[in-house]
Structure 1
């Protein structure tokens, strides 16, 4: 009997009729063909970190955890292909062996590569895009069981719309069997963490975002303090620091060791991507609302980061510099009232939701936020005309609410 699936935070539970664990591309093709022939559906899953039901299915759950590792690399060209189930932390180690590194990483590194990329996972850095923007090619098993190379893997005259759709697709185009990434030579970062009052952070926000390779901050509603984190190439640190001796962490190491944070406690999260120029004003409004209504119940903090614009069809950083605001709440504490009260503020400022985190937006609202929304839907329908890779949740995002 197939076991119940439980996501990372514990907020999502379901039991598929079958769990497939292919170990190579041919096995993926076989699962897809067999399922499509009987009129069934498939949802791929990586580490299960997403807190929305992207992977939920009553039919076939296809896990990628046995498809992990480095396929090929070209250090001189700054390229490598990896299998989709490769963990982010493991990818860093594998790439470092060949003097390569990813341009940026997210706040956590226990996600699978395909899942992190497919949901638009990001780190922080005003000049750095999200993880999907380093995807320059790959291989995809589509709904008929055929392998479709995309981007550079399909040759120099590739279909640009297919690549831009594949960069952020939530597993709706098919099953990724390899991903080719644009990479940098291996590099180190110097990380500083310090605590200061939130007012100092807001007053110096512009300089902090422009003078550091990476900058983010946590705001603690109960104390009104902030934990600031900066990361820079060693020797390129700016002089700007808060008054007093507040540094509580100072570390230098490989990028894949320095960027991610340790996450011993599990949490629920809602995050919106806002136009950079409006983001700080949104934070000020949100801060007052939280202090007024939620301060006594918020067990965790609010995280603010920045991301460079991109052109992936449904990336939530599509064609605009971005500031992100994330609400975090311990997974053993209530979050619905808190998130539901704050979400309209984020939406009023033009926010786009993170695809892998809690939000309530659906097709009619989302369509207006993405200028090339219909281009993505055209690509999706062409690759999966019968909805083999769809579930009710994806239909609510792409087509409208499901009764």
Structure 2
């Protein structure tokens, strides 16, 4: 009997013909080759956290939940080889056993590592890249059922990784070049982080934003539209605590003060599910785009917005379809603005009204979150757009790994 699949937020629901759950690379290859012989399509899925239908299929949905764990670690060289279905929370714990850790993590940790990387998941920190930038090699099963090594696993020397075309294409590729069967990640020594969460008025954040970004390893803030308060979160290694805090300011209080392993301290618990739109914009310490969004929300959406607006920063990287890709921004960092809305409340009118503001500030959408852009608008935002698609077609010439949403996103015929 066919099993229905629903994503984390509940906004994408479909019934694939089959949900395949391979446990080995051999079984993964068999599943892909079998689909090719039948003329079916295959879409890989991680935890289903994305709120765009990148994994939607009426044919074979390929879950990697049974391919988990850390295979090998070289702490001295700074890399770890892991399986694609490994959850971020479990990954942090397993890496810690080897004395290493990811450089950064996103806001939540219930994603699978392959899915988080494939969509450009990120945390915050103006010198810290997204998770995709830590992918330095691995193997994938392409649309022909071939096992293809890339990056360091294909013998590319570390000094050449930033210019290696296949690696740059794979890093953010939504599973359209192939299904990842292993990932080699750049890691760093395990470390503790000290987290401080302050609630204060948004005016204090606007006044001090540039200094907060500059002096903290990681800093982000939420703005609460109905109260005009903000929650500022700073993350630093113990002994490097911020000198600048809103202590003593009106409306200010310390909400959280905790220290622990980075994989425990960075993520937030998200019991409430939500819909989200997020755009990556050129970094602007004056927060001009955010101020514009805030003004619009206060005038038109305050009565219906049940949650918050999140602002973060990300360092540039080299992935062809990364929304923080260095060439388009001349190597400059990005800032992100995310609209969050409870998944039980209307979101479309709100998102559709705010999205053009992001376009005015040269924004690029997060691939795993709500947006309305298609190929005609996206292609000019990515200098390596054509190069990516040439590699993708060579890896999957029959389009076995595509679906209708991706064909529209990429501007390809559906016939």
Shorter-chain TM-score range:
over 0.9
Is the CA contact (8 Å cut-off) linking 2:197 and 2:232 kept in structure 1?
yes
Deviation digits for residues 1-50 of structure 1 (CA, Å, limit 9, x no counterpart): 12100000111110001111000100000000010112110000000000
1:183 alignment counterpart: 187
2:94 alignment counterpart: 94
Deviation digits for residues 137-159 of structure 1 (CA, Å, limit 9, x no counterpart): 00000111110000000113688
Alpha-carbon distance, 1:311 to partner: 1.2
Identify which of 354, 361, 374 aligns with 1:342. 354
- Does residue 252 (structure 1) correspond to residue 246 (structure 2)? The answer is no
2:117 and 2:44 mapped to 1: Cα distance? 13
Alpha-carbon distance, 1:247 to partner: 0.9
Identify which of 166, 169, 179 aligns with 1:165. 169
2:286 and 2:64 mapped to 1: Cα distance? 36
* RMSD over equivalenced CA pairs, Å: 1.3
Alpha-carbon distance, 1:238 to partner: 2.2
2:366 alignment counterpart: 354
SS in 2 for 1:132: helix
Is the CA contact (8 Å cut-off) linking 2:81 and 2:185 kept in structure 1?
yes
1:76 alignment counterpart: 76
- Does residue 199 (structure 1) correspond to residue 203 (structure 2)? The answer is yes
Matches within 5 A, 1:283-362: 283-319=290-326, 320=329, 321-362=333-374
1:301 and 1:370 mapped to 2: Cα distance? 29
Alpha-carbon distance, 1:52 to partner: 0.5
2:46 and 2:211 mapped to 1: Cα distance? 37
Q: Structure 1 2/207 Cα, relative in aligned 2: closer, same or farther at 3 Å? A: same
Q: Structure 1 206/401 Cα, relative in aligned 2: closer, same or farther at 3 Å? A: farther
Is the CA contact (8 Å cut-off) linking 1:218 and 1:228 kept in structure 2?
yes
1:23 and 1:45 mapped to 2: Cα distance? 14
Is the CA contact (8 Å cut-off) linking 1:362 and 1:401 kept in structure 2?
no
Equivalent pairs counted in the alignment come to: 403
- Does residue 229 (structure 1) correspond to residue 229 (structure 2)? The answer is no
Alpha-carbon distance, 1:243 to partner: 4.0
2:151 alignment counterpart: 151
Is the CA contact (8 Å cut-off) linking 1:278 and 1:349 kept in structure 2?
no
Deviation digits for residues 65-101 of structure 1 (CA, Å, limit 9, x no counterpart): 0001011111111111110000000000000000000
Is the CA contact (8 Å cut-off) linking 1:84 and 1:178 kept in structure 2?
yes
> Runs of 4+ in structure 1 displaced over 2 angstroms?
156-159, 400-403
1:311 and 1:252 mapped to 2: Cα distance? 32
Question: 5+ unaligned residues in a row in structure 2: which ranges?
Answer: none
1:125 and 1:298 mapped to 2: Cα distance? 27
Matches within 5 A, 1:212-227: 212-227=216-231
Alpha-carbon distance, 1:402 to partner: 6.0
Alpha-carbon distance, 1:112 to partner: 0.3
**Normalized against structure 1, the TM-score is what?**
0.98
SS in 2 for 1:116: helix
**Normalized against structure 2, the TM-score is what?**
0.95
SS in 1 for 2:310: strand
Alpha-carbon distance, 1:397 to partner: 1.2
- Does residue 386 (structure 1) correspond to residue 398 (structure 2)? The answer is yes
